[in-house]
Structure 1
């Protein structure tokens, strides 16, 4: 009986519990883990509370804290403003977007890097060749200029926008009979 008591004492413990200690190597003790998580969360909240106490901060520090909080709301509100502009004056908006088409691709990459670093990204996946992007942008200049001119002709205040004359060619094209080989074959089989 003494041997069995010694084995049970070794496994389930008198002072130390070998079974529990062995299991804790493979699985975290839930109670101890919860206590550590509570301590870590309390420390984080204390640090956050200390960071936002303005008692010892100068006016400049408070101003810079305010400035640092602006980019996200400005990006969101700016996007909503662009949507509103596209709805209120589509021709104006389209002309501005055509202007954006002239921005060289490396500048877009640079803007992407700045924004992604600001919002937490720490690396950029691709690298671009500046000359290739600039050449591609410059090749689009005539097309963009033509698009802007076409958009300007669509303005409601442009002359002859609401011309009421008839377009005889368009009317003839709409009423002209088409050559349809399938219809011809169907008619031939039927009758």
Structure 2
């Protein structure tokens, strides 16, 4: 018993646990990590709370706070508005979308970077061949012009657009029998 007692007292004696201390060299103590994380969160919340303790009394401060709250709802309602416009006037919407297709890629990247930085997102810049994208955009110009002209021709106020009024001539033409050999053969085969 003396030998085992000495081994246990050397490993676990004096409030120590050599096994736990050795394991903590290779693996973080979960309880200690949780305590440190809770301390970090508490400090962060105290810092955030201290920023909002100061009451902003000036009209400019209130105006800027209100202005900072506008972009998200405006973007959301603007997107919903696009769906309403596409249902109410598809030709107008398609014409505008043809124009948007001429915006060069680097400008889209710039707009994406500005919007993503504004909303706090991280945007990674990729090196792109600027001249190639400009050439591709310029190559699309004739197609866009042709599509825009075709869309403008579809407007209901342009001449030579199909009329939806009933036509007696078309109705009689649809009701008149035609020389269809397959139909005649089928009619003759019926008892």
Q: TM-score, normalised by structure 2?
A: 0.73
Q: Structure 1 stretches (4+) deviating beyond 6 angstroms? A: 164-167
1:61-140 matches, within 5 Å, as 61-118=61-118, 119-129=120-130, 131-140=131-140
Q: The residue matched to 1:8 in structure 2 has which SS?
A: helix
Task: Output one character per residue of 1:97-149: Cα deviation in whole Å (capped at 9) or x when no partner.
Answer: 011112122211221222233342142134231x3322322222222121111
Segment drifting more, 116-125 vs 90-99: 116-125
Tell me how far apart the structure 2 counterparts of residues 146 and 63 of structure 1 sit (CA, whole Å): 47
CA apart distance, 1:59: 4.0
Verify: 1:42 aligned to 2:42, yes or no. Answer: yes
Maintained 8 Å contact 1:102/1:140: yes
Verify: 1:159 aligned to 2:180, yes or no. Answer: no
| RMSD (Å), alpha carbons | 2.9
Maintained 8 Å contact 1:10/1:17: no
2:4 aligned residue = 4
Cα 1:4–1:126 change in 2 (3 A) is same
Segment drifting more, 103-112 vs 69-78: 69-78
Cα 1:91–1:22 change in 2 (3 A) is same
Maintained 8 Å contact 2:56/2:62: no
Q: Which 5+ residue runs of structure 1 have no aligned equivalent?
A: 178-191
1:148 aligned residue = 148
Cα 1:50–1:148 change in 2 (3 A) is same
CA apart distance, 1:150: 0.9
Q: Which 5+ residue runs of structure 2 have no aligned equivalent?
A: 181-191
Q: TM-score, normalised by structure 1?
A: 0.73
Segment drifting more, 70-79 vs 146-155: 70-79
Tell me how far apart the structure 2 counterparts of residues 92 and 143 of structure 1 sit (CA, whole Å): 17
Tell me how far apart the structure 2 counterparts of residues 126 and 83 of structure 1 sit (CA, whole Å): 34
Maintained 8 Å contact 1:94/1:151: yes
Verify: 1:60 aligned to 2:60, yes or no. Answer: yes
Tell me how far apart the structure 1 counterparts of residues 124 and 57 of structure 2 sit (CA, whole Å): 33
